[in-house]
Structure 1
Amino acid sequence: MSYPTLAGRTAVVTGAASGMGEATARLLAANGARVALLARRAGRLDELAAKIGADGGQALAVAVDITDQASVDAAADRVRAAYGQVDLVVNNAGVMLPNPIAAGRLDEWSRMIDTNLTGALRVIRAFTADLTGAAAAGRTADLVNVSSIASHVVFPDYAVYAATKAGLTQLSAALRTELGPRDVRVTNVEPGLTETELGGHIDNPELAEQLGGMFAAIPALTAEDVADLIGYTVSRRREVNLRQLLVLPTRQA
């Protein structure tokens, strides 16, 4: 899709190595934004940056671990050194590791909380001054948090994942009260069933099969569908904040 108002913007996309993050980075770059690609898999980022460059876009691959504040801060410094002040942040990185609470998987709980919620906060901490500075200079400034339908729809055995996404949704709402008066838009996106790599992280065979059954029964969203929604959202005039976006496959209730 074409969004001319994105030309000249400077964006950071986390979780850019695959799925919704990769698709969003591609869309932003295709519409003239400079895009910093943040994720842990450096090789994948380098490949994506090369593809974007071959298509005439601008992209910077920055390997980062969002569970480490020093890593995030170093990444932010590198982005600013290359592209200057950031005016668009897409917090997309996340992990989904379902299991019954009775399984007591503290390793999975810690990883989800540290990535999905605290990781998003680390990124916000690193770039809030950029966003408020861009807004103060009269430019459009956006913070987009990618949450999930699981933040408010109950799925058995996804309790901790859902809690992290509910926390991100509530964080987005609260941040609008702090950043909105400073002309920074905050948008929360909640996709339903979407084709990404998230399901590949599940180590519970029964739950993996259950998720596979959902994909067999319901034509899922693509990563490009979500990217297009993000592109539309951040291309509105700066006085318009699409604050909460719920996007589902047509057949998902």
Structure 2
Amino acid sequence: MSQVITTTPLTGRVAVVTGASSGIGEATAERLAQLGAKVAVAARRQENLDALVARITEAGGTALAVALDVTDREAVREAAQRVERELGRVDLVVNNAGVQLISPIEDLKVDDWQRQIDLNVTGVMNVLGAFVPQLIASAADGGPADLITTSSIAATRVLEKFSVYSGTKAYISHFSRLARVELGRKMVRVSAVEPGMVDTELPDHVTDPDASKLMADLLNDIECLSPADVAETIAFIASVPRHVNLTEITILPTAQAV
């Protein structure tokens, strides 16, 4: 019997996407909804979330806006309960919220260091802690279950002035490998997506003039990835058969050399 091909392979699934108010998170939420998933979109900017939910709903999808600071562990736990109550048990988590603040070490921008650690590491762990029980339960019932985290090529590349940011992304990539050892046995797939240069608002957060120029030049000189490119990759990871785990995917613009 030939396999039936569907244009909505995520029908019946419930997803949560953090950092969904812009960029990769926003594009991913829209793509998952297009493919049939009910999507909870989480970020701090309520107005952006409301606009995203409106677009998804107008296109025939189902979405829920959850105003959330992922660094607040109790708020994340409450959000997980709300999503399960209103959309159903979550079986797809896109752990995407993050910030990029680049500067030389000797500038001692310790507040920037801490902000990156709080959001890129602690925030990721808060989301994992809140939603992993739902992922395990979904997998135990025989369905697919995915924990997908947005890392970066900075996790493995040696890039000047990226030291703290790169350190947080290296944590994410390696933690995903270790978590896979435990969660894979429970049929929860764990994946890390490592994009290169993406045309998002993250470069706008960079205050160091040299680093800002470097990123601006890249955006001007080559055809960078779009958020939709990364979103399509995340959607593909979630759409493959349950026994297939695409563990680490690096996505680069063709013209990006480093």
TM range (shorter): over 0.9
The letter of the residue matching 1:193 is M
Q: 1:16 — aligned with what?
A: 20
Q: 1:81 — aligned with what?
A: 85
Please say if residues 16 and 37 of structure 1, whose CA atoms lie closer than 8 Å, have aligned partners that are also in contact. yes
1:160 matched to 2:164? The reply is yes
Q: Equivalent residues in 2 for 1:134-213 (5 A)?
A: 134-213=138-217
Q: 1:49 — aligned with what?
A: 53
Displacement of 1:84 = 1.7
Q: Distance in 2 between matches of 1:115 and 1:251?
A: 30
Q: Distance in 2 between matches of 1:84 and 1:213?
A: 44
Please say if residues 3 and 235 of structure 1, whose CA atoms lie closer than 8 Å, have aligned partners that are also in contact. no
Q: 1:109 — aligned with what?
A: 113
1:30 matched to 2:19? The reply is no
Question: Structure 1 residues 74-83 or 86-95, which shifts more?
Answer: 74-83
Q: 1:224 — aligned with what?
A: 228
Segments of structure 1 that go 5 or more residues without pairing to the other structure are: none
Please say if residues 8 and 34 of structure 2, whose CA atoms lie closer than 8 Å, have aligned partners that are also in contact. no
Displacement of 1:206 = 2.4
Query: How many residues align structurally?
Result: 252
The letter of the residue matching 1:166 is A
Q: Distance in 2 between matches of 1:181 and 1:93?
A: 27
Aligned residues with identical type, % of pairs: 48
Q: Distance in 2 between matches of 1:55 and 1:219?
A: 29
- Describe the SS at the equivalent of 1:13: strand
Displacement of 1:214 = 1.2
Q: 1:58 — aligned with what?
A: 62
1:166-202 CA-partner distances (Å, limit 9, x unpaired) = 0000010000001000000001100001011101111
Displacement of 1:118 = 1.1
1:120 matched to 2:124? The reply is yes
Displacement of 1:70 = 1.3
Q: Distance in 1 between matches of 2:233 and 2:227?
A: 10
1:44-101 CA-partner distances (Å, limit 9, x unpaired) = 0011001110110000000000111011112112111101210000001100000001
Displacement of 1:4 = 2.5
Q: Distance in 1 between matches of 2:33 and 2:8?
A: 11
Give the TM-score normalised by the residue count of structure 2: 0.96
**Segments of 4+ moved more than 3 angstroms:** none
Question: Structure 1 residues 196-205 or 150-159, which shifts more?
Answer: 196-205
The letter of the residue matching 1:5 is P
- Describe the SS at the equivalent of 1:5: coil
- Describe the SS at the equivalent of 1:156: coil
Match of 2:242 among 229, 238, 245: 238
Q: CA RMSD in A?
A: 0.9
Q: Distance in 1 between matches of 2:7 and 2:118?
A: 34
- Describe the SS at the equivalent of 2:245: coil
Q: Distance in 2 between matches of 1:4 and 1:84?
A: 18
Please say if residues 3 and 231 of structure 1, whose CA atoms lie closer than 8 Å, have aligned partners that are also in contact. no
Give the TM-score normalised by the residue count of structure 1: 0.98
